[in-house]
Amino acid sequence: MANLLSNPPKKSIIYRDENVCACLAKRSLADGHTIITWRKRINDLNTLDNRSYDYLMDTVFAVREALMVTLKVKKVYLFYMDESNYVHWHLIPRYKIKGFDVFRHEEMETKNFSLAEKIKTNLFFK
- Look at domain 2-121 and name its CATH class: alpha beta
Per-residue pLDDT reduced to its tens digit, 21-64 = 999 999 988 889 999 999 998 888 999 999 999 999 999 999 99
pLDDT at 35: 96
CB-CB neighbours of 126 under 10 Å: 6
The DSSP letter of residue 103 is G
pLDDT above 90 (res 5)? no
Q: In terms of C-beta distances under 8 Å and separation of at least 24 residues, what long-range contacts does 57-60 make, across chains too?
A: 58/125, 58/126, 59/15, 59/20, 59/22, 59/125, 60/36, 60/89, 60/91
- The confidence score (pLDDT) of residue 48 equals 93
Cβ pair 64, 78 in contact under 8 A = yes
The chain-wide mean pLDDT, for the chain, equals 88
> How do the domains of the chain map onto residue ranges?
2-121
What pLDDT sits at residue 2? 43
Pick the more confident residue, 102 or 90: 90
